[in-house]
């Protein structure tokens, strides 16, 4: 597919509106590509029989998005044995789901903590338990 790159300023309101729509589509394409890459990483992790992923429940309607978020959290925490702050994790999650609300994300972290998948040794800091850490 050829991408048309307009040169100069738009010559009409119609052209300006179409250029805004094109930019909006480009943003959505980027978001979808990021989400696709995350799903691909999740598939690879599932194929490797990651024991942490085996604990994740996928029975509800929103399970796929939740599993994506939980798996990215685990992936990030495993790569940082010292742990990560909530805001750092949330920034990573925005790549997976740009519409993710911070309250929803914090609830997800607390559910993962209740399941024993992650630890919260002090306010705002999250880690994986020692056996899951790489």
Judge whether 82 lies within some domain: yes
The larger pLDDT score, comparing residue 76 to residue 50, is at 76
Cβ contact 71:41 at 8 Å: yes
Flag whether pLDDT at 53 surpasses 90: no
Q: 35 pLDDT exceeds 60?
A: yes
What does the pLDDT look like over 85-122, one tens digit per residue?
A: 999 999 888 877 778 899 999 999 999 999 999 999 98
For the segment 60-77, the average pLDDT, to the nearest whole number, is 78
Q: Is residue 118 part of a domain?
A: yes
Tally of domains in the chain: 1
Residue 3 clears pLDDT 90, i.e. is over it? no
CATH number for the domain harbouring residue 78: 1.10.10.10
127 pLDDT more than 80: yes
DSSP SS3 for 119: strand
State residue 89's pLDDT score.
92
Closest CA to 128 of 52, 55, 68: 52
Q: Look at residue 29 and tell me if it is in a domain.
A: yes
User: Which whole-number Å values give the CA distances from 62 to 21, 57, 58, 68, 125, in the listed order?
Assistant: 29, 11, 8, 10, 26
pTM of the model: 0.57
């Amino acid at each position: 597919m050829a991408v048309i790159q307009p040169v100069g300023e738009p010559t009409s309101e119609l052209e300006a509106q179409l250029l805004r729509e094109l930019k909006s589509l480009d943003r959505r394409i980027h978001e979808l590509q990021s989400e696709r890459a995350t799903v691909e990483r999740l598939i690879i992790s599932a194929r490797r029989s990651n024991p942490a992923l085996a604990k994740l429940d996928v029975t509800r309607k929103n399970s796929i998005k939740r599993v994506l978020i939980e798996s990215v959290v685990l992936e990030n925490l495993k790569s940082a044995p010292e742990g990560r702050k909530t805001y750092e994790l949330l920034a990573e999650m925005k790549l997976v789901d740009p519409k993710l609300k911070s309250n929803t994300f914090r609830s997800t972290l607390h559910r993962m903590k209740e399941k024993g998948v992650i630890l919260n040794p002090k306010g705002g800091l999250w880690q994986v338990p020692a056996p899951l850490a790489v």
